[in-house]
Amino acid sequence: MKIQKLNNKDTYPMDLLLTADPDPAMVAKYITNGECFAAMEENRIRGVYILVKTKPETAEIVNIAVQSQYQGKGIGKRLLRDAEYRTKAMGLKRLEIGTGNSSIGQLALYQKCGFRLDKIIHDFFLEHYSEPIFENGIACRDMIRLYKMM
């Protein structure tokens, strides 16, 4: 499996990106200033992430998603490692990611990959998303921010 940068925004896998972030307006906003990287196998996209340089010395993974039938096979971990590699290569010191309070599996994955808890943005999802989000029987209200130093 090869992870490569997608240079043409028209080739971004919008359906897949929307599985990680259900708000098309939000996705449209960050694809304008982010770079998109895709895990390719047999010329097909199996997984994707978007990396944005945010503050000085900091990048953020604003979206990460793996095709449902390929989840649980290590592709997400590969994408996170690739994001770290690219963050370091850009000379940045800190990589961040945010997820919902209801995203139990994602919180596990990010911590298994060395991300530490940073802060909570209370009511982020209530304020920024028009539709309610439920996962694992939990209402998604707050954003949990995580970071990893390079």
Measured between alpha carbons, how far is 3 from 50 in angstroms, rounded to an integer?
12
Candidates 19, 54, 57, 114: give the one binding ligand COA (CB under 6 A). Answer: 19
Backbone angles phi, psi at 149, to 5 degrees: -85, 140
- Closer residue to ligand COA in complex, CB, 51/66: 66
User: For residues 73-102, which are near ligand COA according to CB under 6 A?
Assistant: 73-77, 99
Examine residue 66 and tell whether it contacts ligand COA (CB under 6 A).
yes
- Closer residue to ligand COA in complex, CB, 27/92: 27
User: For residues 104-143, which are near ligand COA according to CB under 6 A?
Assistant: 104-106, 108-109, 112
The residue ranges that bind ligand COA (CB under 6 A) are: 19-20, 64-66, 71-77, 99, 103-106, 108-109, 112
